[in-house]
Every structure is written in structure tokens, then in C-alpha cells.
Amino acid sequence: MSKIFNGIHFYININNLNSVVRKDENSHENLSRTFHALDAFTYTLEKFAGEFDDINIEKFTTSRLHFYIPIQNNSETATAEMLEIIAFSQELSSYINKHSKYQSLVNFQIGSGADLGKHTEFTFTDKDSEISEMTTIG
């Protein structure tokens, strides 16, 4: 039997990642600049989110970081934390977009979404790599 949790699942998405990748590939015939900017963005955002005790970083899928905040008794705190991370991601993308190394190439446009309700934590293991990963279903 799976345990059911109440919480907020939210994501932060780079809405235009495909066009940024195409621009880099067409201009430089490789994607090293885009991958470096994407790595800087995801690493810094994950590090910031890790400062909150109750936020779980679920996964990164293509252009989207998924987070989960279980809600015990205080949904206002969880909502405030989620909004703080989303605001931080906007500032971070703005900084990366203006940084001299990327300014002629990268223009990450950030979007986000969230849902609130009951979720089940689901762990699955990749058969080839034997790496386990947690995600939420709900």
C-alpha cells in the first residue's frame, strides 16, 4: 500500500529551450554554450531549493525542473516557499541572459505551474543503470 501525501507539485520550465538550442547549433555548430548555461541554471536553482528543509527536488526533464513540497499543517508556508523559488528562478535566468558569456545567445524565458492536492511518492529504478528515482503521482 502506498502512502498518500498532501502537497504542492510545481515546476519551473525554460519555455523557449528548443529555440535557444537551435540558435546555438546554427551559430556555433555545437551546443556547449547552451549546455553550460543550462547547467549553471539548474545547478544554482537546485542549490537554492536545497536550502529549504521541506522541498524535494524530484527530477529534471528536458527543460523542466520538478519540485514537491509536502504540506503538513501550514499551506501558507509551502506556498510562500514555492513562490520564493519561482521568483529566484526568474532573477537567475535574467542574470544568465545578461551575463557577457551568454548575452548574444541565451535568452531563457521562464514559466512555471503548480498543482495542490494528494500525491503518492513513487520510486522506480532504471534496469540498465540501476539508478533509482523518486517521482510523485497525483
The one-letter code for the residue type at 99 is H
User: Which is more confidently placed, 131 or 1?
Assistant: 131
For residue 74, report the phi and psi dihedrals to the nearest 5 degrees.
Answer: -130, 90
For residue 92, pLDDT beyond 80: yes
| Whole-number Cα distances in Å, 134 to 2, 60, 85, 94 | 13, 12, 20, 30
- Report the pLDDT averaged over residues 98-124: 78
pLDDT in tens, 38-88: 888 999 999 999 999 888 888 888 888 988 888 876 678 888 888 999 999
% of the chain beyond a pLDDT of 90: 22
**Burial, 129: exposed, middle or buried (Cβ in 10 Å; 0-12, 13-18, 19+)?**
exposed
Q: How many CB atoms lie within 10 A of CB 85?
A: 21
